[in-house]
Amino acid sequence: LLDPSRFVVFITGATSGFGAAAARRYVAAGGKVIATGRRRDRLVELQAELGAENCHIIELDVRDRAAMEKAIAAIPAPFDQINIVLANAGLALGLQPAAETDLDDWQTMIDTNVSGLVYTVRLLLPGLIARGGGHVVTLGSVAGEYAYPGGSVYAATKAFVKHFALAIRSDLQGKNVRVTDIEPGLTETEFSLVRFKGDDAKAAKPYQGTKAMTADDIAESIYWATTLPAHVNINKIQLMATTQAIGAFDIHRE
Ligand code: NDP
Ligand code: 8X3
């Protein structure tokens, strides 16, 4: 197994959910993390919890390419020795039928889940290669595999992530860089609160009367994929709550 105490993990979206859980998981294993996100107060809290020697924080919006370039170029030692990139920041906005959605919401999802993710990977990949290898972990979704009503652009951004992860692997032959797309289903985080724009009642509904996965479940899968022997690449991990399954085709009848 690779030595987790040598892991230096750059995480987008570390202020909540999977990103925060992954930061805790890697630091618990002896690694270091660069925790990024827009909410500075959350980053400061996380750093206080994990220790400044283990957790470097950067207030960052992944959609801002110039800010990303500047921030990544300015990461101080020893945090600049990044060997794992967790491109996790992302969001869904709305669940309306396609013709009734807010086009600004679609744009925000594309800017964050697609553009922000490719900026993250592209800006950090040369460093991984130069330092002799590493691991890129992307956050896809079951939504990138199975369409569902109201999923539209969110699902399409995650299909992009899935294919991007597979495609860049073929450019990394001989570079010792592994790529894994994590594709979770129903998991209780702030995801639903963001999707329904702070409406607590709507946000709670997907998790009511069922047992969703937790952010820690996903963090453990991410961690596991990165601790396998260097000659093993997990292309993707698709995981669902045991209470979730793929439904039948939807047939409209008069
Ligand atoms: P959360 O809402 O709990 O966390 C999302 C994180 O993304 C936050 O830290 C947020 O930070 C960050 N983020 C959002 N927009 C930006 C931005 N423009 N710039 C920087 N950071 C941003 O959701 P999850 O932890 O559940 O989601 C993490 C990833 O997993 C997402 O890509 C999501 O699509 C995916 N996913 C989630 C599933 C679920 O059921 N929960 C299932 C499958 C995939 P901040 O707001 O502080 O910037
Ligand atoms: C998040 C899971 O099913 O809400 O990607 O799209 S789902």
pLDDT one-digit tens code per residue, 112-136: 999 999 999 999 999 999 999 999 9
Query: Is residue 140 within 8 Å of 92, Cβ to Cβ?
Result: no
Q: Is the pLDDT of residue 26 over 70?
A: yes
Closest Cα to atom 5, ligand 2: which residue? Answer: 141
Q: What is the pLDDT of residue 245?
A: 95
Q: Is the pLDDT of residue 1 over 80?
A: no
Q: Evaluate: CB of 13 within 6 angstroms of ligand 1.
A: yes
Q: Evaluate: CB of 120 within 6 angstroms of ligand 1.
A: no
Report which ligand 1 atom has the smallest distance to the Cα of 188: 41
The answer as to CATH 3.40.640.10 being correct for domain 4-239 is: no
Q: Evaluate: CB of 226 within 6 angstroms of ligand 2.
A: no
Average model confidence (pLDDT) for the chain?
97
Map out the domains of the chain as residue ranges.
4-239
- CA 179, CA 162: separation in Å to the nearest integer? 11
The percent of residues above 90 in pLDDT, for the chain, comes to: 97
Closest Cα to atom 6, ligand 2: which residue? Answer: 143
Report, as an integer, the average pLDDT of 85-97.
Answer: 98
146 residue type, one letter: Y
- CA 202, CA 198: separation in Å to the nearest integer? 9
Report, as an integer, the average pLDDT of 58-63.
Answer: 98
- CA 31, CA 25: separation in Å to the nearest integer? 9
Cα distances (angstroms) measured from residue 136 to each of 34, 61, 86, 147, 250:
14, 19, 6, 25, 36
pLDDT one-digit tens code per residue, 218-239: 999 999 999 999 999 999 999 9
Query: Is residue 188 within 8 Å of 217, Cβ to Cβ?
Result: no
35 residue type, one letter: A
The percent of residues above 70 in pLDDT, for the chain, comes to: 100
Which two three-digit tokens encode residue 97? 């039928």
- CA 148, CA 145: separation in Å to the nearest integer? 10
pLDDT one-digit tens code per residue, 165-205: 999 999 999 999 999 999 999 999 999 999 999 999 999 99
Residue linked to tokens 């220790």: 51
pLDDT grade for 242, boundaries at 50, 70 and 90: very high
pLDDT grade for 210, boundaries at 50, 70 and 90: very high
pLDDT grade for 2, boundaries at 50, 70 and 90: confident
Report which ligand 1 atom has the smallest distance to the Cα of 215: 25
Q: What is the pLDDT of residue 204?
A: 97
Query: Is residue 86 within 8 Å of 19, Cβ to Cβ?
Result: yes
Report, as an integer, the average pLDDT of 30-39.
Answer: 98
